[in-house]
Amino acid sequence: MNDGMNQFLQVFFEETEEHLASLELLLLGLDLQQPDPEELNGIFRAAHSIKGSAGMFGFDDLTAVTHELETLLDRIRSGQLALQAEMVDLFLQARDVLMRLLDAHRQQRPDPDVPVSSTVARLRELLDAAPATGEEASFGFFDDAPGTPQAATDDDFGFFDEAPGAPAQAADDGFGFFDDAPGTPAPTVSEAPKAVAPPASPSTSPSTKPSAGEGESSSIRVSVEKIDSLINLVGELVITQAMLGQLGGALDPSLHERIHQALAQLEHNTRDLQESVMSIRMLPISFIFSRFPRLVRDTSARLGKQVELLLQGEHTELDKGVIERLSDPLTHIVRNSIDHGIELPEVRLAAGKPASGTLRLGAFHQGGSIVVQISDDGRGLDRARILAKAREKNLAVHDGMSDAEVWQLIFMPGFSTAEVVTDLSGRGVGMDVVKRNIQAMGGRIEIDSAAGLGTRISIRLPLTLAILDGLIVAVANTHYVIPLTYIVESLQPKAADIRGLGGEEGAVIRVRGEYLPLLSLHDLLGEAAPPLPAEQSIVVILEADGRPFALQVDDLVGQQQVVIKSLEQNFRRIEGIAGATIMGDGSVALILDVDALPGLAQQQGAALHELP
């Protein structure tokens, strides 16, 4: 297939996926008693657009399913059929079939297991079982017969239906993505001859068409690779600007006033350019939130539970890369909340709760991060059971552990307190992967839970994976970057506050009456120069996995945004290091993997004890 056709195919795959997402969302929101005509029209338009474009590319399986779907939807929206719950279920199943077919065509690997024929047959059964009315003869394949009340709205959908210059009403017969193009398979069900396009109705006033054309021309589709390349170039520009700023700082402002003004303007413009480019990759988190109404509906029905899903902050924007990697962890957490958190209706009623549980999924900005919260009003985590399970697994736990430390135990590999293993959860596989994926994005996950009241899981994520807000620290004339999201505070310790327990590697520091493990970055990273005396050094209090600890460094250099460079791609993996960045003077600074530092300290301590 040539490149030109490939480009069209990519557009088809992306737009069909969007149509399927829209179709699913509208189906889930339908009121069975009084369905909104606009929502029914939206569902019909999505199915019809898919059918038209699939026909153009010769995807007969997609066309066959959407044709039956479209015919059935048309009778519902025209009032000839009453909407029923089983129809919605079947429409959702048909949507899943269409998605599987789409994936198979995208990968160019036909999937013989996709139930195309049975889905078409079930849709026809519903159609055949419907009582015929006198109005039935008035519509046909495209149901655009004169007199059809919704004819005006039908004209406006399709792939390029809002393209500049699109005729206002003539598109009635030819809407969709070239659905009348040669090669479109003939409909296989009995149908009336294609209706002639009705004359323009008053509702399709010409004044609305220009605005649609303007909306289409205001956006274009650009490949992610081109955007990533642009972001990398801007990152290099930021580094170059920082270098120039550092060189300019050495010049006397009184003698080089114009150079300083130019450098200040360059910094301002570079920052604006960087923010603009980064915003291109930003997408509303609704892209993944929109998948959960279906997931909650199916999962709760499967478990015999009643769950109401509330979405908040759907318009919060996040980097596309973060959104794509957040989908699986969120799916796992939501399934766990329904399976283990929210009780059965009879249990909830006995506990004085409403029969229907509430699951909230929200997102909001906090500081320089995005926080995604999943909360339920279920039974909450059982602290005693978690500690008992941890002791069974010979984990180092004690009754004096804080709740935050106990909750973190559920992220241990293979850890589960579920008494029954289901195909949804209970094997202890998943939450450790969730945490690992979140940490791989530079994020953190925290849990709050109260017995009988519910559980709230908070995921704090960076806005983007390309830029990091960090604190620059110095150790033996080498600069390191600590992500700001891990930092609690920094202080200059007093010698009297530092104690050694069981050897040098077991030092602790007293901070406001609480003793915290004290790690030396000198020792962790094997710096040849000895660390400074405690009273001359700086201690940064960090928190990883719900546990605070102190990190001793020589000095604080400053706080700044840095462009993240992969160390593994350019060099090799180093334990305790998450990446690298280039500083304004051209030197390389390593970005600390804060979550790995306590484990690295334990490994080094164990290695020391094993020495002869």
Q: How confident is the model over 477-523, as pLDDT tens digits? A: 889 999 888 888 999 888 888 877 544 556 888 888 888 888 888 88
Spatial CA neighbour of 278 closest among 235, 242, 239, 314 = 235
For the chain, the C-alpha Rg in angstroms (whole number) is 30
User: What are the Cα distances from residue 524, in Å, to 476, 539, 585, 600?
Assistant: 13, 14, 26, 7
| Residue 153: per-residue pLDDT | 40
Name the more confident of 611 and 280: 280
User: Would you say residue 152 has pLDDT above 70?
Assistant: no
CB 195 within 8 A of CB 143: yes
Name the more confident of 502 and 221: 221
Distance in angstroms (rounded) separating the CA atoms of residues 38 and 152: 12
Spatial CA neighbour of 290 closest among 16, 26, 87 = 26
Helix intervals (H) in 304-369: 320-336, 345-350
Q: How many CB atoms lie within 10 A of CB 485?
A: 20
Residue 27's beta-bridge partner residues?
none
Name the more confident of 428 and 575: 575
Domains of the chain with bracketed CATH: 2-127 (1.20.120.160), 283-416+428-462 (3.30.565.10), 467-608 (2.30.30.40)
Helix axes 37-57, 3-28, angle to 10 degrees: 160
Average pLDDT over every residue of 299-318 = 90
| Residue 231: per-residue pLDDT | 84
Average pLDDT over every residue of 455-461 = 90
pTM of this prediction? 0.62
User: Would you say residue 342 has pLDDT above 70?
Assistant: yes
Which pair of tokens denotes residue 180? 């009348």
| Residue 473: per-residue pLDDT | 93
Name the more confident of 61 and 128: 61
Long-range CB contact pairs, 421-430, < 8 A, 24+: 422/339, 424/299, 424/302, 424/303, 424/335, 424/339, 425/332, 425/335, 425/336, 425/339, 425/340, 426/339, 426/340, 430/332, 430/336
Type of residue numbered 548: P
Q: What spatial distance separates the first Cα and last Cα of the chain, rounded to whole Å?
A: 67
User: What are the Cα distances from residue 121, in Å, to 64, 188, 603?
Assistant: 10, 12, 62
| Residue 455: per-residue pLDDT | 94
Q: Residue 445: which pLDDT band, with cuts at 50, 70 and 90?
A: confident
User: Would you say residue 171 has pLDDT above 60?
Assistant: no
Average pLDDT over every residue of 39-60 = 87
User: What are the Cα distances from residue 499, in Å, to 304, 504, 512, 538, 604?
Assistant: 56, 9, 14, 16, 19
E strand or H helix that includes residue 469: strand 467-475
**List of E strands, 337-404:** 357-366, 369-376
User: Would you say residue 159 has pLDDT above 50?
Assistant: no
User: What are the Cα distances from residue 186, in Å, to 48, 183, 193?
Assistant: 14, 9, 12
Q: What is the mean pLDDT of the chain?
A: 78
- The dihedrals phi and psi of 34, each to the nearest 5 degrees, come to -135, 75
* Alpha-carbon torsion, ordered 155, 156, 162, 165, to 10 deg: 30
| Residue 283: per-residue pLDDT | 86
